[in-house]
Structures are given as structure tokens and as C-alpha cells.
Amino acid sequence: MKQIGTDCTFGRAEQRAPQGLSTGSTKSVLITGAYGQLGHELTRLGQGHELLAVDRDALDITDYDAVTACLDQFKPDAVINAAAYTAVDRAESDLEVAFSVNRDGPDNLARACGHANIPLIHVSTDYVFDGLKQGAYVESDPVAPLGVYGASKLAGEQAVLKQCPKSIILRTSWVFSAHGQNFVKTMLRLGTEREELGIVADQHGCPTSAAELARAIYAVLDKDLNDNHRGVYHFCQPEPTTWFAFANAVFDSAREQGIDLSVNTVNAIATTDYPTPAERPANSVMDCNKFEQSFGFTVRPWRDSLDEVIRELSDVRGEA
């Protein structure tokens, strides 16, 4: 296993030796945003690679010198950028920080990866679209973000494609897991606190588990990447739904797994009934055929992943 020199401090960095099985050769991989939902799953799954997983305290991706120093010492075969400013509503009044993390950070990583001639896998969002299209978005559809978050993520995409010849961008949507803050965990909390809830029913998208997204990213790394792979891909789990239907699926799965809930009425409401600082796309369903065909990855239904996450959360509750 490669060792990080004692003169380089990475704070809460987690270094992991190869584990499990990989369908490809073992690679050394730098993961940013290690303690977010996706970063946690990337680190947990490992897929037989040697990992250096860092959070923002360990590596400030908005500092180009820090990024280059990290790459110089670890010398990764690839970088996965799971770091992001994801507070959609707060971004409307925190524009400078949102763009610093979501545009300047990826720009720094892409420049460093370009100079090192290594791939950068960068995670983006469905919020680059305005949601006006009827049907699923494909990668070539025009982008038109509605708010600061989407605009900052789009700027990050553009920087990555410009700076790194071996860049791969994965747009994803509605990410959930047993780790961190997300819709599934919020619904479980509210479902135990309240008897009645109103959930938005006119926004359409595809829930995606962080674990499934992590598996997809490792499937990319297992490929012998070349210039033909460069570009933007969509990755989300099949079966478009609404937040209202997703909430009901959460409650159904929780009850099936023995979690006691107080909620007995879930009302479908309109977006206009639940105003937020940031406007959300009414439709952010994405077509993932390009990814599946390019990397030979069969995407599982989100309902299967939801059951797994609920089961994990139920086990944690049982241990408490």
C-alpha cells in the first residue's frame, strides 16, 4: 500500500488497503467529499481499490496548491470528486460559497488531473435542467438551471470538461442512503413524529441510492478508459416517481420491516403549496441508456435499494 509522507497532513483522511473483489485491476483512488452520502459509500464499498478518502478539513479542493500537493504525494490512478455544496435553498443567498465549492473546486481538481494525465470522475446533478421537457432528459438536451445550486454545478461541469481530457461526469438525482441527511431519513423522522403529512406530488424524478451510484462509479473505474469515454452521462435508478409517491414507498417499506410509525395520512400537495427559496425542476427524470451501454452496468430499481437502506436504518435503531 502506498504511504502518505509524514510531512503531509490530511486531517480526517481514511486510507484503505485493497479489499474484496474487483472486476478490473486494483487502482489507487483519491475520493473527495468522503464523509458525505456518496463518499461514505465509495469508501465503504472499496471494490478492491486502494483508497485515500478525504473530507473538506483534510483537503480543501478550492485551494489549487493543496490539491496538487495531495496528488503529488498520493499519486492516484484516478480521482472521484464527491465533494459538493448541496444546500439547494441556502445557495440562493450563499452564491459565493456555492460557486467556490461547485465550480472552483472541480476546476482545480480537473486542472491537476489534466496535468497528471489521470481520469477525474465528477458527480453532478439533475438540477442543471429547467424541468420543462416532457419525457426523460438525455445528455444532449439543453441545460437551463433554475437556481444558484444548479448553475454552480453546471459551471463545475464546464470547468471539468475544459480542464481534464480524461473527465467523466455523472449527473444523478434524489440521492438517499442510511448515512447523512436525505429525504428518506427525513420522512422516517417525520413519520414517527406526526400523524399527517403533506408531500409535493408535482415534481418528478428518479431516486438514486448512494450505494448504487458508488457501484456504478467503480464500474467506470474497472473499464480501460480512453478518450471515447470522456463526457457527460446520466445515472439514476429506474422508475420515475414523485416525492409524494416516494414518501409512501418509504413508509410502506418501514412498516414491512417493523418500524413503528405515527403517520396515517399523507396528502398530495402542489409545489406552490410548499414555497422554497430555490425553484425546483418539475421534471428531472433522466435517461441512463448511454451509461448502461458504455459501461455495461445494469441499474437496479430504486425500490430494492430503498428496502436495503430502511433495513440498515432499522438495524441501527434496534442497536440503539
pLDDT of residue 227: 75
Res 8 pLDDT > 90 = no
Q: What band does 21 get if pLDDT is binned at 50, 70 and 90?
A: very low
What are the angstrom distances between the C-alpha of 231 and each of 121, 127, 160, 287? 10, 18, 10, 15
Cell numbers for 287, please give them: 435517461
CATH number of 170's domain: 3.40.50.720
**Does residue 146 lie in a domain region?**
yes
* Catalytic site positions: 149
Does 250 map to a domain? no
Tell me, yes or no, whether 268 lies in a domain: no
> Confidence band (pLDDT; 50, 70, 90) for 24?
low
Condensed to tens digits (0 to 9), the pLDDT of residues 160-207 reads 999 999 999 999 999 999 999 999 999 999 999 999 999 999 999 999
| pLDDT score, position 26 | 85
Range of the domain at 173: 14-181+207-238+285-301
- pLDDT category, 15, cuts 50, 70, 90? low
Give the model's confidence band at 94: pLDDT under 50 very low, under 70 low, under 90 confident, else very high.
very high
The answer to the question of residue 196 being in a domain is no
How far apart are alpha carbons 270 and 51 in whole angstroms? 44
With CA atoms as reference, report the closest residue to 278 among 84, 36, 99, 93: 93
Higher pLDDT among residues 8 and 260, named by residue: 260
Q: How many domains does the chain have?
A: 1
Does 3 fall in a domain? no
Note whether residue 80 is domain-resident.
Answer: yes
Query: Does any domain span residue 193?
Result: no
Q: How large is the average pLDDT for residues 302-320?
A: 84
The pLDDT score that the predictor gives to residue 316 is 65
Query: Is residue 238 over pLDDT 50?
Result: yes
pLDDT tens-place string over residues 121-141? 999 999 999 999 999 999 999
Does some domain include residue 243?
Answer: no
Q: What percent of the chain has pLDDT over 70?
A: 91
